[in-house]
Amino acid sequence: ISSPFFPPASSWDAAYERELQTFQDIGDTGEIWFGEESMVRIIRWLEKHKVPLDSSVLDIGTGNGVLLVELAKSGYMNLTGIDYSPSAIQLSEKVREKEGMSNIKLKVEDFLAPSAELSGFDICIDKGTFDAISLDPSDAVGKRKLYVGSLSRVLKPEGFFLITSCNWTKEELLNEFREGFEILEELPTPKFCFGGRIGNSVTALVFQRK
């Protein structure tokens, strides 16, 4: 599978190293995956459902950490971001410092083999990390299963999982997360029209852990 959105996994570190250098040079935080509206969509859902501001939130594959900064600005206090790329975590630490958000925790973690202390979260958020894992040329099916297993370990029972994807339809995601999760809601995303047929380029779903 190939995607216009995501570089191959091998180039993530190099991409974040470039963004880190750019941030140090000119203060630009770099790419916001899926654009600003994807962050607004997530925060609106949390607010609409009156998710308490002290809920523990995990951003899976945090990248530059901008989503966590926006959550902190919205009043959320218990925020953790993980990424397997050390350059991404360095970049998100610099963004956190610039914004003065000292309550955001950041860790280098491989979500497919999470450490024991990564557990008990009320909310898990994924904007593109599951997509990136799905594009891995080495055993993508096995890695997707590992992902679902990790999610079951780190998310509390009845906790919420918000996923934004450009590679998977709603039906495909329902199938991927059928073991241990149930769909609560599909969030509205921009639609595109091609050859008279209307479709979604992005899928955003909210699951609840059983």
Sequence spans of domains, the chain: 41-209
Q: For the chain (length 210 residues), average pLDDT per consecutive 10?
A: 44 60 51 70 95 98 93 96 92 91 93 95 96 86 95 98 93 96 92 64 94
The confidence score (pLDDT) of residue 57 equals: 98
The confidence score (pLDDT) of residue 21 equals: 64
Three-class secondary structure of residue 172 per DSSP: helix
Roughly what angle, to the nearest 10 degrees, separates helices 12-26 and 86-99?
30
CA geometry: angle 7, 131, 46, nearest 5 deg: 125
Three-class secondary structure of residue 22 per DSSP: helix
The confidence score (pLDDT) of residue 24 equals: 52
- 109 alpha-carbon distance from chain centroid: 14
User: What is the residue-wise DSSP string for 83-133?
Assistant: ES-HHHHHHHHHHHHHHT-TTEEEEE--TTS--TTS--EEEEEEESHHHHH
Residue count of the chain, please give it. 210
CATH of 41-209, one of 3.10.180.10, 3.10.50.40, 3.40.50.150, 3.30.70.660: 3.40.50.150
User: What is the residue-wise DSSP string for 30-90?
Assistant: ---TT-HHHHHHHHHHHHHTT--TT-EEEEET-TT-HHHHHHHHTT--EEEEEES-HHHHH
The CA distances from residue 23 to 17, 55, 152, 186, in Å, are 10, 30, 35, 34
